[in-house]
Amino acid sequence: MIRVGVIGYGYWGPNLVRNFVEAPGAHVVGVSDLRNERLNLVRSRYPAVETTSDYRDLVRHPDIDAIAIATPVSSHFELALQALEAGKHVLVEKPLTASAEQAERLIDLAERQQRVLMVDHTFVYTGAVRKIHQLVSSDELGQIYYYDSVRVNLGLFQNDVNVLWDLGVHDLSILDYVVNQHPRAVSATGMSHVDGQPENIAYLTLFFDECIIGHIHMNWLSPVKVRRTLIGGSHKMIVYDDLENSEKVRVYDSGITVNNNADSLYQMLIGYRMGDMWAPRLDVTEALQTEVRHFLDCIEHNQSPITDGHAGLRIVRILEAATRSLAGRGQLVELPSSDP
């Protein structure tokens, strides 16, 4: 039995607690939050779970094996650091940390402590994204050409991070998992329309060594909610619409063929292929349930998670580079070589 403590019972914490309570082989020992009204909700729904306004009660608790952190980004590093130093396994809400240097320190500490460090890149554990990963890995799409995503809605405005660090993490984690390549440079533009607040709209372009380009549009100021991604390959293409109740993933046997005319160096013929569309069957298990069980399984079997500290670090590095580019109005910013 893996005994768990959850720090933070705001927006995401209740989902973590519920899934850990329902997960076989797990027992939620305690929950911490600074607000007593939030702790009252825990007491009413889970009477057997200990509650405290001091997170250190959970970090020092001798009966807790793992800590899940669902707090503002600025607090992730210090909370995860203390939990790892106390010998706990750690699951951190996205993004892993507020800087790459902090992420590197957590990875190093987790490895020295021989503890699991995992970041909550929830979309990686959805049935849709896992199916897309399978299709790309099996070369069903051929050579990947582009990843183009729109992730917009009206709100929720964040005070501590801009829209890149909020919505952008989802697509960056999907891209990191699905495409077996890492970007070498980024360019970002954006704008804040609320004085003194972070950017609420941004456009991020990612450049790869291969002939792949990524583009993500993020917006907290859209009249409609859109969660649509296009992934194009040399053989087939995918439309992934997360708001679809059915057929979230559609695979199109469409593309182009390029024929060079041997008689003329200046003549090129483009052929268009329009084949069938099919929608694969998807696992409908809640993504967070899959993620929580993966975390517990990695602890039990001493394995590295799919979204481990290195995956979290890669995303934070991109976000840092994108932030610098944003400040430079789209200036191209090179990325360092990624860790494994």
- CATH number, domain of 103, equals 3.40.50.720
Domain assignment of residue 308, yes or no: no
* More confidently predicted of 263 and 330: 330
Q: Are residues 268 and 242 in the same domain?
A: yes
Rounded to an integer, what distance in angstroms lies between the CA atom of residue 188 and that of residue 319? 10
Q: Are residues 325 and 182 in the same domain?
A: yes
Q: Mapping DSSP to helix (H, G, I), strand (E, B) and coil, where does residue 32 land? A: strand
Cβ atoms of residues 279 and 285 within 8 Å: no
Domain assignment of residue 297, yes or no: no
Show which of 91, 120, 149 is a domain's final residue: 120
Q: Are residues 264 and 183 in the same domain?
A: yes
The confidence score (pLDDT) of residue 20 equals: 98
Q: Are residues 133 and 73 in the same domain?
A: no
**Nearest CA among 218, 191, 223, 222 for reference residue 205:** 218
The confidence score (pLDDT) of residue 158 equals: 81
Q: Are residues 188 and 110 in the same domain?
A: no
Q: Are residues 128 and 92 in the same domain?
A: no
Domain assignment of residue 89, yes or no: yes
Rounded to an integer, what distance in angstroms lies between the CA atom of residue 5 and that of residue 90? 10
Ramachandran class of 167: left when φ > 0, alpha when ψ lies in -120 to 50, beta otherwise: alpha
Q: Are residues 46 and 146 in the same domain?
A: no
Q: Are residues 129 and 114 in the same domain?
A: no
Domain assignment of residue 339, yes or no: no
Show which of 72, 92, 120 is a domain's final residue: 120
Q: What are the two backbone dihedrals, phi and then psi, of residue 139, each rounded to the nearest 5 degrees?
A: 65, 25
**Number of helices (H), then strands (E), in the chain:** 10, 15
Cβ atoms of residues 292 and 118 within 8 Å: no
Residue 178, pLDDT above cutoff 70: yes
Each residue of 232-267: pLDDT tens digit? Answer: 999 999 999 999 998 999 999 987 776 666 555 555
Each residue of 23-79: pLDDT tens digit? Answer: 999 999 999 999 999 999 999 999 999 999 999 999 999 999 999 999 999 999 999
The confidence score (pLDDT) of residue 193 equals: 92
The confidence score (pLDDT) of residue 49 equals: 98
The confidence score (pLDDT) of residue 276 equals: 87
CA distances from 151 to 15, 49, 162, 227, 283 (A): 22, 36, 14, 5, 22
The CATH number covering residue 188 comes to: 3.30.360.10
What residue type is 8 in one-letter code? G
Q: Are residues 328 and 207 in the same domain?
A: yes
What residue type is 33 in one-letter code? D
Q: Are residues 115 and 144 in the same domain?
A: no
Cβ atoms of residues 235 and 140 within 8 Å: yes
Residue 291, pLDDT above cutoff 80: yes
Q: Are residues 76 and 160 in the same domain?
A: no
| Dihedral of the alpha carbons of 224, 291, 250, 270, in degrees to the nearest 10 | 100
- 274 band by pLDDT with thresholds 50, 70 and 90: confident
Average pLDDT over the chain reads 94
CA distances from 321 to 13, 28, 108, 146, 340 (A): 29, 38, 22, 20, 19
CA distances from 248 to 48, 65, 217 (A): 39, 37, 19
Domain assignment of residue 142, yes or no: yes
Q: What is the pTM of this model?
A: 0.93
Domain assignment of residue 300, yes or no: no
Domain assignment of residue 244, yes or no: yes
**Nearest CA among 335, 325, 309, 312 for reference residue 182:** 335
Show which of 61, 86, 120 is a domain's final residue: 120
Q: Are residues 140 and 237 in the same domain?
A: yes
In this prediction, what percent of the chain has a pLDDT beyond 90? 86
Q: How many domains does the chain have?
A: 2
Strand partners, 120: 93
Domain assignment of residue 131, yes or no: yes
Residue 121, pLDDT above cutoff 90: yes
Range of the domain at 143: 124-286+317-334
